């Protein structure tokens, strides 16, 4: 038994990432770190593939990239850098995950797995949501419309860092202020999709990418 893929997008706070990797106590076939900050130098002992990105891909594109990098996986496990693994949490995730399920921990997307059949029918994450927020809400709604709520599992045995809120954003005042602006734009797009029953998807856009840029 093993987890096929663990993918972790990260922008800063590499200390939290290292702490998370140190806690891994269950076999994982592939560990992929998508370094949107471009400055991570990871010890080879972690046996992880690090992609030092030339710019911030954003959350949707990072998740999509991981799926594209490992297209033969039965499911993909995604985690934020501030995830805290419990003693048997990775083993439980492997047991609960599968081709036909979206498995959430604590009813959020800080750590979750998504199965191959869901991606095949629902599609990838909408990259018009940039750089972060509401891409998870959108995907959740599309899975529910296609498969029903029975395809979604809630498993409450994963913790995040004890500090409240996003550690990526809270660690940088510029990001915190900028997020107030980009959050609103993403919320507007989500409401637009909701009004159209999630049948319209704009996808990646150069103008959107430039408009919503976060500068570190």
Q: Report how far residue 64's alpha carbon sits from residue 129's, in angstroms, rounded to the nearest whole number.
A: 12
CATH superfamily of 3-211: Spore Coat Polysaccharide Biosynthesis Protein SpsA; Chain A (3.90.550.10)
- pLDDT confidence bin for 179, thresholds 50/70/90: confident
Angle between helix axes 135-147 and 59-69 (nearest 10 degrees) is: 60
Q: Report how far residue 25's alpha carbon sits from residue 90's, in angstroms, rounded to the nearest whole number.
A: 7
Q: Report how far residue 202's alpha carbon sits from residue 126's, in angstroms, rounded to the nearest whole number.
A: 7
Indicate whether 118 pLDDT > 80.
yes
Q: Report how far residue 199's alpha carbon sits from residue 122's, in angstroms, rounded to the nearest whole number.
A: 11
Over residues 87-96, the mean pLDDT reads: 92
Taking alpha carbons only, the member of 51, 58, 21 closest to residue 35 is 51
Could you say which DSSP state residue 46 is in? Answer: G
Indicate whether 165 pLDDT > 70.
no
Strand partners, 10: 35
pTM over 0.85? The answer is yes
Q: Where are the domains of the chain?
A: 3-211
Strand partners, 33: 8, 50
pLDDT at 162: 52
Over residues 114-118, the mean pLDDT reads: 98
Q: What value does the mean pLDDT of the chain take? A: 92
- Run of H or E residues at 23: none
Indicate whether 9 pLDDT > 80.
yes
Q: Is the peptide bond before 172 cis (omega within 30 degrees of 0)?
A: no
Tokens of 126: 């909408």
Tokens of 170: 């809270």
What's the distance, Cα to Cα, between the start and end of the chain in Å?
Answer: 40
Indicate whether 160 pLDDT > 60.
no
φ/ψ of residue 167, rounded to 5: -70, -30
β 75-79/3-10 pair status: parallel
pLDDT at 156: 75
φ/ψ of residue 73, rounded to 5: -70, 145
Tokens of 209: 């990418």
Q: Report how far residue 7's alpha carbon sits from residue 1's, in angstroms, rounded to the nearest whole number.
A: 18
Tokens of 168: 């990526």
Over residues 109-119, the mean pLDDT reads: 95
């Amino acid at each position: 038994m093993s987890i096929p893929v663990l993918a972790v997008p990260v922008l800063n706070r590499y200390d939290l990432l290292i702490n998370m990797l140190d806690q891994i106590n269950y076999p994982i076939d592939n560990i992929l770190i998508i370094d949107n900050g471009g400055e991570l130098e990871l010890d080879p002992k972690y046996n992880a593939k690090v992609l030092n990105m030339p710019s911030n891909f954003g959350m949707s594109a990072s998740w999509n990239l991981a799926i594209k990098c490992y297209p033969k996986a039965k499911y993909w496990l995604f985690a934020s850098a501030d995830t805290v693994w419990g003693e048997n949490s990775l083993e439980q995730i492997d047991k609960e995950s599968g081709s036909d399920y979206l498995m959430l921990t604590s009813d959020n997307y800080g750590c979750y797995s998504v199965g191959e059949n869901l991606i095949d029918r629902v599609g990838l994450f909408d990259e018009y949501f940039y750089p972060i927020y509401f891409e998870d809400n959108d995907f959740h709604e599309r899975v529910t419309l296609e498969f029903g709520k029975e395809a979604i599992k809630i498993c409450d045995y994963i913790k995040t860092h004890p500090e409240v809120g996003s550690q990526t954003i809270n660690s940088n005042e510029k990001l915190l202020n900028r997020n107030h602006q980009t959050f609103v734009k993403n919320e507007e797009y989500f409401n637009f999709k909701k009004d159209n029953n999630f049948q319209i998807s704009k996808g990646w856009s150069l103008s959107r990418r430039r408009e919503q840029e976060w500068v570190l």
